[in-house]
Amino acid sequence: MRLSAIFPSRTIAIYMGKLFLVRTFAIMAALVLVLQALDLLSESGNILAVPGNGDGEVWRYVSLRAPQIISFVLPFSVLLGTILTLITMNQNSEVIALKAGGLSAHQVLAPLLLASAGVAVISFAFNDRITPRATATLNAWQKVDYGPLPIDSGDRSNVWVRDGGDLLQVDLIRGRGAATQLGGVTLYDRTGGSLRSIVRAPRGQREGSAWRIGPGTRFDVASGQVTRFASMVVGNGVTPEQLTLAGVDADSLSFRGLSEAIDDLQKAGRPTKALEGSLWHKLSGPLSAVLMPLLGAVAAFGVARSGKLFVRAIIGMALGFAYFVADNFALAMGNLGAYPPFLAAWAPFLLFFLIGEAVLIRTEE
């Protein structure tokens, strides 16, 4: 299909795209300003309550919180920017003029869809490069109640790893690679699918492809006896990287970082379904911007003098907000394991794409 068939007029396409982008980012700026002010009212007292904190720490909080708010309100801003643009064009009879010139409903919406695709690319880049870093720093700062941030020594605590049918639990891990030291090692021997023994040792270190622990004790479940040993080799094939994995926060990682963390967790035998859903949602979330012009298109058509323009705008907003509700619900079901990760991230997008197309074709095409 030729590009001229989709965009018959370059001037009209630029005009509509500019209207849409200006309104979208103006609404986003207003929403960010209001939400940031409200959030700062609730948190500024906690920040200033720490001795030594002042205006600098308040502005630091604003700089760390603003990326999260922008990521949250951008899809809503695209929806409201679409509806405001199309209502304005409908009231000025511009949509009627375009349709009278032979443009179909899809051709009228094409400039907005192209502009929203650009917004989706910007949203993905922003969410992948800026928001995760700000989120990770803010979470670490909030854990110390807005006090001085401690230096991350790299130590990990309370780590669980599955070794075949056995479970290996370590209280504290120091170091990296071959120099990794284990403290408080517990091995749950589940040979044959049932618990046979529990092995405990105060320390352990790397030896070849396994770990030598000791001195420790071994509790036999069947006999109830406790025996002591000087040393024992456990966890053959368990790598230091698997043991040094900490809890993974999907919001604090980029797309690539989260993908690598999921691979490491799978090798360690840990569940990753919830993280896989979050990984897919890092793509479907920004792409929802492309969906908003389609859902808000109902506000573009119909005669403004009929008095139903406000009703059409309400229907467009209802469709958009219904999508966000369905998206959050599906993601929650994915985190619980009720939905497969791919379905949890993409089902709402595909469903509302079909709904938007059905409404547009049924009413205008």
pLDDT for 203-253, tens place per residue?
999 888 889 998 999 999 888 899 999 999 988 878 776 665 556 778 888
Rg (CA), the chain: 28
CA-CA-CA-CA dihedral for 232, 188, 271, 69, to nearest 10 = -90
pLDDT for 131-144, tens place per residue?
999 998 888 888 77
Q: How far apart are CA 313 and CA 83, in angstroms?
A: 7
* E strand spans, the chain: 156-163, 166-174, 181-189, 197-207, 210-213, 216-220, 226-229, 232-234
At residue 216, the pLDDT reads 92
| Residues in contact with 353: Cβ distance below 8 Å, sequence separation at least 6, in sequence order | 291, 294
User: Model's pTM, two decimal places?
Assistant: 0.75
Backbone phi and psi for residue 147, each to the nearest 5 degrees, phi listed first: -90, -170
- Average pLDDT rounded to a whole number, residues 345-362: 89
Q: How far apart are CA 296 and CA 11, in angstroms?
A: 23
Q: 219 near 196, Cβ under 8 Å?
A: no
Ramachandran quadrant class, 253 (left: phi over 0; alpha: psi -120 to 50; beta: rest): beta
Share of the chain above pLDDT 70, in %: 90
DSSP state of 297: G
pLDDT for 259-304, tens place per residue?
887 887 776 666 788 889 999 999 999 999 999 998 888 776 755 4
| Residues in contact with 27: Cβ distance below 8 Å, sequence separation at least 6, in sequence order | 77, 80, 81, 84
- Terminal CA-to-CA distance of the chain, rounded, Å? 19
Q: 299 near 108, Cβ under 8 Å?
A: no
* Confidence class for position 183, pLDDT limits 50, 70, 90: confident
| Residues in contact with 40: Cβ distance below 8 Å, sequence separation at least 6, in sequence order | 58, 61, 62, 65
> What pairs with residue 220 in β-bridges?
197
Q: If we measure between CA atoms, which residue out of 276, 216, 226 comes closest to residue 248?
A: 276
At residue 8, the pLDDT reads 67
Segment holding 270, helix H or strand E: none
User: Which amino acid belongs to residue 213?
Assistant: I
Q: 233 near 212, Cβ under 8 Å?
A: yes
- Angstrom CA distances, 249 to 66, 69, 133, 239, stand at 19, 18, 12, 22
Place of tokens 């396409």: 13
Q: How far apart are CA 293 and CA 238, in angstroms?
A: 50
pLDDT at 350 over 60: yes
Q: If we measure between CA atoms, which residue out of 134, 199, 191 comes closest to residue 166?
A: 191
